[in-house]
Amino acid sequence: MDMTALSPNASSLDVNGGLPSGLSMGAVRLRVRDAARSIAFYTGTLGLARLGTDADGIVRLGVGSQVLIELEERPEARPRPRGTTGLFHVALLVPDRPALAVVLRRLVAQQARLGASDHIVSEALYLDDPDGNGIEIYRDRPASEWRWQGDTVEMATDHLDGRALLAEAPANVPLDAPLPPGTRVGHVHLQVGDLAGARRFYIEHFGYDLTTDRYPGALFVSAGRYHHHLGLNIWQSRGGSAAPQDSVGLVRYEVVLPQAGDVDALRARLSAAGESVTVTPGGFEATDPWGTKVLVRAAG
């Protein structure tokens, strides 16, 4: 009998210290200068829905009832200084290739400045929000098609045939259709100051599995043999310090664990490793070596 199913306070963390395979990414909070401008981008350009505004003025955007992006308005915020650490991009995962084709058709119609890549495990579109926060929208290839060599997954940055992708956009889906049900935050990619520190915090202390370190200057980590829940790179931030708190960019991101017991076990593990954690309603907050805040909570 699976005893973890009997108690919400049980833990499904790996006995060797790894994270549960049911880990997922939650909402990503961004600091922006002009909320109205950002809302117009995330709803009008990307197709998210505005879900509400909380008592602190945080604007919630998402799909259905699922919050994916939160906006914290700071009109006085300045651009993030070059070379500092923080967000590289937040990646929204759509359910399938036709859904990605619809997104591409929408963005092309709006003449958005786009990048695109085939990563072998996925196909991805890239653009920036009005404050320069990186956004990826992608679809996964079936996990059965991912190529693993032991515990290392093969990824690359190859050309994406945009015309072939556009041809898969269903004609009956309107140009202004919102992002489809099932869209979620698939991963977050961070700029860090050094890879040794990233390994120590995210792999040794937090418990992620390394999925590849074959990209020069980057690590990719995950739980449950996903290709990556986090990317960590030093491409523009080697030796960098945390971005000033009065600059635009990442405020925090959420990691969602299957059970409350998983949250408790991870908090204890981080504390034992000497990491500072702050208890929050339903979970806790930790901070990586470059000031990036991680809010950990249980699903539900």
Interval 143-170: pLDDT, tens? 999 999 999 999 999 999 999 999 999 9
Count up the domains in the chain and report the number: 1
pLDDT band at 7 (very low <50, low <70, confident <90, very high): very low
**pLDDT tens digits, 104-138:** 999 999 999 999 999 999 999 999 999 999 999 99
Distance CA 260, CA 9 (A): 5
Cα 133 to the chain's mean position, in Å? 12
Res 17: pLDDT: 66
Res 288: pLDDT: 98
Residue 69: strand, helix, or coil: strand
Interval 209-233 mean pLDDT? 98
Burial of 130 (0-12, 13-18, 19+ CB in 10 A): middle
**pLDDT tens digits, 73-109:** 999 999 999 999 999 999 999 999 999 999 999 999 9
Query: Is residue 8 pLDDT above 70, yes or no?
Result: no
Res 300: pLDDT: 86
**Structure-token pair, residue 138:** 């992608």
How far CA 168 is from CA of 181, 184, 218, in Å, comes to: 18, 21, 32
CATH code at position 88: 3.10.180.10
* Closest listed residue to residue 241, CA positions, set 192, 201, 277, 189: 192
Percent above pLDDT 70 for the chain: 94
**Structure-token pair, residue 73:** 């308005």
**pLDDT tens digits, 23-60:** 999 999 999 999 999 999 999 999 999 999 999 999 99
Query: Is residue 289 pLDDT above 70, yes or no?
Result: yes
Whether 246 contacts 76, CB under 8 Å? yes
Identify the domain containing residue 199 by its residue range. 3-298
Query: Is residue 6 pLDDT above 50, yes or no?
Result: no
**pLDDT tens digits, 173-208:** 999 999 999 999 999 999 999 999 999 999 999 999
Res 47: pLDDT: 98
Residue 287: strand, helix, or coil: strand
How far CA 258 is from CA of 49, 121, 204, 266, in Å, comes to: 26, 25, 21, 12
Res 13: pLDDT: 55
Whether 230 contacts 91, CB under 8 Å? no
